[in-house]
Structure 1
Amino acid sequence: MQIRELSVPGAFEITPVQHHDDRGVFLEWFKGPSLAEAIGHPFDLQQANCSVSAAGSLRGIHFADVPPGQAKYVTCLSGSVYDVVVDIRVGSPTFGAWDAVLLDTSDRRAIYIPEGAGHAFLALEDGSTVAYLCSTGYAPGREHGIDPLDPTVGVRWPTTTPDGTELSLLISEKDRAAPSLMQARDSGLLPLAVDVQTYLDGLIN
């Protein structure tokens, strides 16, 4: 298993070792000790989610209040998605920056989204199935969103499927109505980098 930190601090790309034979393939897509070594504390699994999306479905940018936030360990079991992490921690040197990992059934990578970061993905194929391991359970009152098409963030979303077919975006009304990054910041909706770090320091101790 190879773990690489992304340009958003605290977010990681995980590439597993795949073992192929005549029967198919086997891999370890999550290893607690390896992840804990990378992020500096154990990952406290509290909920596992699964979504199945049509090509063009854009989900996010979602985040949760910190503390406790919600860290996510995400992989794609079928199809492919363009998975994005956004630094929305006010006061972070990389505030507003984003990075992305292609999750598919070829490399079978995963992405780790830390507490206090925004998360979104675009399904590139029909039936794209995404599995999320979450550090906290879903809490509606503490969950928020940012406009995934906000030009200030400027995510360069793919425009075609892997076979070259043009994608038509499917976005929920809730996500379409989400504020921009700066609107969310000015309204006090975003987590503060210092609060996130304080929370993470508590996990280490």
Structure 2
Amino acid sequence: MKIEETKLKGCFVIEPEIFHDERGHFFESFNQKEFEKKIGQKVDFVQDNQSFSKKGVLRGIHFQMGKYAQAKLVRVLSGKVLDVAVDLRKDSKTFGEYIAVELSAENKKQMFVPRGFGHGFITLSETSEFAYKCDNFYQKESERGIIYNDKSIKIDWQLAESEIIVSQKDNQLPSFDVAILELN
């Protein structure tokens, strides 16, 4: 398993070692001992989530506040997405910056998004099946977000605005400037 830290400290891209033969392929998608050794911290995942989306569906940018903050290990089971993490740690050198990584069933990459980050993704293929582990349980009252087309973050979602499908709830999320007022 190859684990590399991104320009956003604490956020990692994971590439599995894939073993191919005439029957197909095999890979280890998660090994807690190896994962924790390479990221340098202990993470106890307590909840797995999965979603199915059509092309252009954008989910995010989401995060949870305070003691309900979540770290996530995300991957794609079918299709292809652009996965985005936004650094919301006010004391970070990369505060307000983002990274975008293409995750697909084909490349089998994963991304570890630590606590203190906003997270979202958009489906680039006809459909996608997206799965992720969380290190904290979902708590509706602490759920927050940032509008996907925030003018200060300027995320390139790789699709035309007319192709992007956002839920009514996500379309009403505040700007980055407003959302960070609530952060500790």
Q: TM-score range by the shorter chain?
A: over 0.9
Bigger Cα displacement from structure 2, 140-149 vs 64-73: 64-73
Within 1, Cα distance between the matches of 2:182 and 2:60?
A: 15
More strand, by proportion? 2
Match of 2:182 among 189, 192, 203: 189
User: In the aligned structure 1, how far is the partner of 2:170 from the partner of 2:7?
Assistant: 25
Aligned to 1:9: 9
**Identity score, percent:** 39
- Residue 128 in structure 1 maps to residue 123 in structure 2: no
C-alpha root-mean-square deviation of aligned residues, in Å? 1.5
Residue in structure 2 matched with residue 57 of structure 1 by the alignment: 57
Judging changes above 3 Å, is the alpha-carbon distance between structure 1 residues 167 and 17 closer, same or farther for their aligned structure 2 residues? farther
Report the CA distance between 1:167 and its aligned residue.
7.1
| Stretch moving more, 54-63 or 166-175 | 166-175
SS at structure 2 position matched to 1:182: helix
Residue equivalent to 1:199:
none
Secondary structure at the counterpart of residue 67 of structure 1: helix
Aligned residue number for residue 33 of structure 2: 33
Do 1:56 and 1:167's aligned partners in 2 also have CA atoms closer than 8 Å?
no
Contact persistence 2:58–2:166 (CA under 8 A): yes
1:170 aligns with 2:171: no
Unaligned runs of 5+ in 2: none
CA contact (8 A) 2:68 2:138 kept: no
Structure 1 alignment gaps of length 5 or more:
161-165, 193-205
TM-superposition CA deviations, 1:140-181 (whole Å, max 9, x none): 011111011102011111127xxxxx9711001111111111
TM-score norm. by structure 2 comes to: 0.95
TM-score by length of 1: 0.85
Aligned residues: 184
Is 1:75 matched with 2:70?
no
* Contact 2:68–2:137 (Cα < 8 Å) also in 1: no
Q: Distance in 1 between matches of 2:166 and 2:90?
A: 26
- Aligned mates of 1:68, 1:142 — CA distance in 2: 7
Q: Secondary structure at the match of 1:83?
A: strand
Give the Å deviation of 1:127.
2.5
Letter in 2 for 1:168: E
- Aligned to 2:163, what secondary structure does the other structure show? coil
Give the secondary-structure state (helix, strand or coil) at the position aligned to 2:66: coil
